[in-house]
C-alpha cells in the first residue's frame, strides 16, 4: 500500500519572527487528522516510475530567487512540478512572475522540501494565484514537520482556504509526474536527527531517459548518511542541486562519490549572510571536476533534456569552475533577460560547448541544443582516447545462470590514442563489480569483450569469473569508473 497519507491541516502555529534555513523555527512531526488513504488511484510506485522512458523533452529550471530555492519541472506530457517557492521576503513575486512568463497555467505537483521560510516563501501566493486566477494546484507533497513561522501559517491557511490536497510524504513514495520518474528517497518514516527540519527534507530523484536530477533540499549529515545507507546505488545523477544552498554541512565527499554528478547547481544569494556556497563545498566539487552553476551569478539556470543529452541555458555567462564562481558578476533575483544555451552535457558526464552544428529542438518557443547521437563515449584523462559500449548481450542461450559466458559486454576505444584501463571498474545496478587487470590497455579502434563467466584473459577477451549471470534481462546499467572512482561511462539498456 502507498505510504502517503492525506493530511488535512489547520493553521495552529503561533506567529513569530521569521528566519532562514537554520532549523530554529521547526516543531515536531505533524499529526494527520484525516483518514489514511492513497493519494491517487493508480499512482505509480517507485518501481513503476523507474520504467519511464524518454519521449520528447523535459526542462528543469533553477529559478534565481536569491537566498532561497525554487525549481520548476516541465514534463514532456505538459504536467508541471514546482519544488519550493523561494524566500518569504518577496512573497512569491519572483517565482510567480517566472511561471507566468513561461505560460505555466497549472501546478500539478507542489513539493515542499521542508518548512523553512526561504523554501516556502511563495507558497501562499502561488496557491492563491493558481486556485483563483489559473487552473489550480493538483496536490502538495510535504514532509509533515511544522514550523512556527508566519510564512508557514500563511501556507497552511491557503491550503485550507482552497481545499488543496496535501500529502505527508516519505521515502518510497513516487510523485506521478506523467512522462518522467519522480521518486522520493527521504525522509524515512522514523524521523532523523530529532525531527530537525533540514535533515528531514523531502529528497527527490527525477529521472528521464538516461538523465537524472537529485534535489536533496537542505539535507545535511544525517540525511546524507541515510541516503548512502539506503539508496547508494540509486544516487547517481547527471545534475545535483547542492544541498542546503552549498553549506559546508552538505554535499559531503562520500555523497559526491555516490552521486558522481556532471553538473552541480547552487541556489543562494550573491552576498549570502550564511556564506553560501562554502569554500569547502566548492573545493569538493573542484576535486571531482564538477561543472558548477550559481544562480547568484548565472541567474536562472535551465536544463533541457531529451533523455540522453542535456542543454544548459543561463541568463548570464559566468565561470563554472567551482573555485572561480565568485569571479562572476551578480544577477538580481527577478531580473529579466533571455536564457542562452551555454553547453551540452551528455548522459555519461562529458560536455561540449553549444554550437550551431548541434540539432535544435523547441522548448517553449526557445531554441535549445539537444543531443544528435550516441552518448556512451567518454574521453580519458590523457585526451584523444575514448571508451564506448558497442554491445550488451544480457540474455545468454539457455539458463543464464548456467551459462554465464553466454552474456557479455563489448567495449571499444573509439579514440586516437591507447587507453589504459588497468584498475578501472565495471558495475551493474546490483553493485556486482569487475576490475580491469593491471596494465591492460586498449588501442585505438580496438575492442574487448568482457564475459561474465570464467576463462583465460587475452587481448580481446576478459573474464569476470562469476558463477552466475550478472546482467539483468529486464534492463540494467553498465557503469564504468576510472581508477580514481570517477564515472567515465554509463550506458543503460531495457
Q: Is the pLDDT score of 119 beyond 70? A: yes
Going by the DSSP 8-state scheme, the letter that residue 173 receives in this structure is: -
Q: Check whether residue 430 and residue 307 sit in a common domain.
A: no
Q: Is the Cβ–Cβ distance between 472 and 406 less than 8 Å?
A: no
Give strand pairing partners of 491. 478
The pTM of the full predicted model, rounded to 2 decimals, is 0.67
pLDDT of residue 286: 94
Percent of the chain whose pLDDT exceeds 90: 67
Q: Check whether residue 318 and residue 426 sit in a common domain.
A: no
Which of 318, 349, 370 marks a domain boundary? 370
DSSP per-residue string spanning 238-290: SEEEPGGGG-TTSS-HHHHHHH--SEEEE---TT-TT-SSPHHHHHHHHHTT-
pLDDT of residue 45: 39
Q: Check whether residue 252 and residue 392 sit in a common domain.
A: no
Q: Of 395, 419, 397, whose CA–CA distance to 409 is shortest?
A: 395
CA torsion sign, 246 to 251 to 253 to 257?
negative
Q: Is the Cβ–Cβ distance between 136 and 106 less than 8 Å?
A: yes
Alpha-carbon span 394 to 166, nearest angstrom: 43
Q: Check whether residue 384 and residue 348 sit in a common domain.
A: no
pLDDT of residue 352: 67
Q: Check whether residue 326 and residue 446 sit in a common domain.
A: no
Q: What is the mean pLDDT of the chain?
A: 83
Q: Check whether residue 354 and residue 296 sit in a common domain.
A: yes
> pLDDT tens across 203-245, in order?
999 999 889 999 999 999 999 999 999 999 899 999 999 999 9
Q: Check whether residue 290 and residue 383 sit in a common domain.
A: no
> pLDDT tens across 325-373, in order?
999 999 999 888 889 998 888 766 667 666 433 333 334 333 333 333 3
Going by the DSSP 8-state scheme, the letter that residue 401 receives in this structure is: G
Element (H, E) at 168: strand 166-168
Q: Is the pLDDT score of 121 beyond 80? A: yes
Burial tier of 229 (Cβ tally within 10 Å: 0-12, 13-18, 19+): exposed
Tell me the CA distances in angstroms from 42 to 1, 66, 182, one per residue in order. Answer: 11, 38, 15
Q: What average pLDDT does the segment 95-114 reach?
A: 96
What's the CATH number where 361 sits?
3.60.15.10
Which of 351, 370, 389 marks a domain boundary? 370
> pLDDT tens across 41-86, in order?
333 333 334 334 566 889 999 999 999 999 999 999 999 999 999 9
The parent domain of residue 436 ranges over 378-493
Q: Check whether residue 38 and residue 178 sit in a common domain.
A: yes
Q: Check whether residue 330 and residue 443 sit in a common domain.
A: no
Which of 322, 339, 370 marks a domain boundary? 370
Percent of the chain whose pLDDT exceeds 70: 81
With a CB cutoff of 8 Å and minimum separation 6, the contacts of 357 are: none
Going by their DSSP bridges, the two strands 211-215 and 203-208 should be labelled as antiparallel
Q: Check whether residue 309 and residue 456 sit in a common domain.
A: no
Alpha-carbon span 392 to 105, nearest angstrom: 44
pLDDT of residue 278: 96
> pLDDT tens across 435-468, in order?
999 999 999 889 999 999 999 999 999 999 999 9
Total number of domains constituting the chain: 2
Weakest-pLDDT range from 25-29, 82-86, 281-285, 376-380 = 25-29
pLDDT of residue 54: 61
Q: Check whether residue 307 and residue 445 sit in a common domain.
A: no
Q: Is the Cβ–Cβ distance between 75 and 180 less than 8 Å?
A: yes
Q: Check whether residue 364 and residue 393 sit in a common domain.
A: no
Alpha-carbon span 213 to 242, nearest angstrom: 11
pLDDT of residue 363: 40
Amino acid at each position: 500500500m502507498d505510504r502517503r497519507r492525506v493530511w488535512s491541516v489547520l493553521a495552529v502555529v503561533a506567529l513569530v519572527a521569521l528566519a532562514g534555513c537554520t532549523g530554529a523555527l521547526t516543531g515536531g512531526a505533524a499529526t494527520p487528522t484525516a483518514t489514511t488513504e492513497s493519494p491517487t488511484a493508480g499512482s505509480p510506485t517507485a518501481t513503476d516510475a523507474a520504467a519511464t522512458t524518454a519521449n520528447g523533452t523535459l526542462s528543469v529550471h533553477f529559478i534565481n530567487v536569491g537566498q532561497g530555492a525554487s525549481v520548476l519541472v516541465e514534463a514532456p506530457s505538459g504536467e508541471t512540478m514546482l519544488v519550493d517557492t523561494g524566500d518569504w521576503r518577496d512573497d512569491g513575486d519572483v517565482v510567480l512572475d517566472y511561471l507566468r512568463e513561461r505560460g505555466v497555467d497549472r501546478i500539478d505537483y507542489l513539493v515542499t522540501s521542508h518548512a523553512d521560510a526561504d523554501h516556502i516563501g511563495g507558497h501562499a501566493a502561488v496557491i492563491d494565484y493558481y486556485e483563483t486566477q489559473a487552473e489550480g494546484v493538483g496536490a502538495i507533497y510535504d514532509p509533515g514537520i511544522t514550523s512556527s513561522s508566519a510564512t508557514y501559517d500563511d501556507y497552511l491557511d491557503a491550503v485550507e482556504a482552497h481545499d488543496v490536497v496535501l500529502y505527508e510524504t516519505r521515502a518510497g513514495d513516487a510523485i506521478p509526474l506523467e512522462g518522467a520518474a519522480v521518486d522520493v528517497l527521504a525522509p524515512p518514516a522514523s524521523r532523523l536527527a530529532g525531527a530537525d527540519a533540514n535533515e528531514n527534507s523531502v529528497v527527490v530523484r527525477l529521472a528521464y531517459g538516461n538523465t537524472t536530477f537529485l534535489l536533496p533540499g537542505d539535507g545535511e549529515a544525517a540525511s546524507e548518511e541515510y541516503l548512502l545507507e539506503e539508496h547508494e546505488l540509486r544516487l547517481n545523477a547527471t545534475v545535483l542541486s547542492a544541498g542546503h544552498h552549498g553549506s559546508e554541512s552538505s554535499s559531503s565527499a562520500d555523497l559526491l562519490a555516490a552521486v558522481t554528478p556532471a553538473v552541480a547547481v547552487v541556489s543562494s544569494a550573491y552576498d549570502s549572510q550564511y556564506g553560501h556556497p562554502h569554500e569547502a563545498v566548492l573545493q569538493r566539487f573542484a576535486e571531482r571536476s564538477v561543472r558548477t552553476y550559481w544562480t547568484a551569478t548565472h541567474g536562472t539556470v535551465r536544463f533541457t533534456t531529451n533523455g540522453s543529452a542535456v542543454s544548459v541555458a543561463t541568463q548570464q555567462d559566468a565561470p563554472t569552475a567551482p573555485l572561480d564562481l565568485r569571479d562572476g558578476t551578480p544577477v538580481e533575483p527577478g531580473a529579466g533577460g533571455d536564457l542562452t544555451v551555454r553547453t551540452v552535457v551528455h548522459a555519461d558526464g562529458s560536455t561540449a560547448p553549444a554550437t550551431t552544428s548541434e540539432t535544435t529542438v523547441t522548448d517553449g518557443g526557445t531554441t535549445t541544443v539537444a543531443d544528435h547521437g550516441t552518448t556512451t563515449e567518454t574521453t580519458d584523462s590523457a585526451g584523444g582516447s575514448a571508451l564506448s559500449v558497442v554491445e550488451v548481450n544480457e540474455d545468454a542461450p539457455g539458463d543464464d545462470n548456467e551459462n554465464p559466458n553466454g552474456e557479455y559486454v563489448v567495449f571499444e576505444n573509439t579514440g586516437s590514442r591507447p587507453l589504459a584501463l588497468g584498475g578501472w571498474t565495471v558495475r551493474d545496478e546490483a553493485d556486482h563489480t569487475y576490475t580491469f587487470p593491471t596494465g591492460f590497455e586498449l588501442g585505438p579502434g580496438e575492442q574487448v569483450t568482457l564475459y561474465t563467466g570464467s576463462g583465460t584473459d587475452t587481448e580481446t577477451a576478459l573474464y569476470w569469473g562469476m558463477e552466475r549471470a550478472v546482467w539483468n534481462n529486464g534492463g540494467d546499467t553498465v557503469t564504468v569508473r576510472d581508477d580514481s572512482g570517477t564515472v567515465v561511462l554509463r550506458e543503460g539498456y531495457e
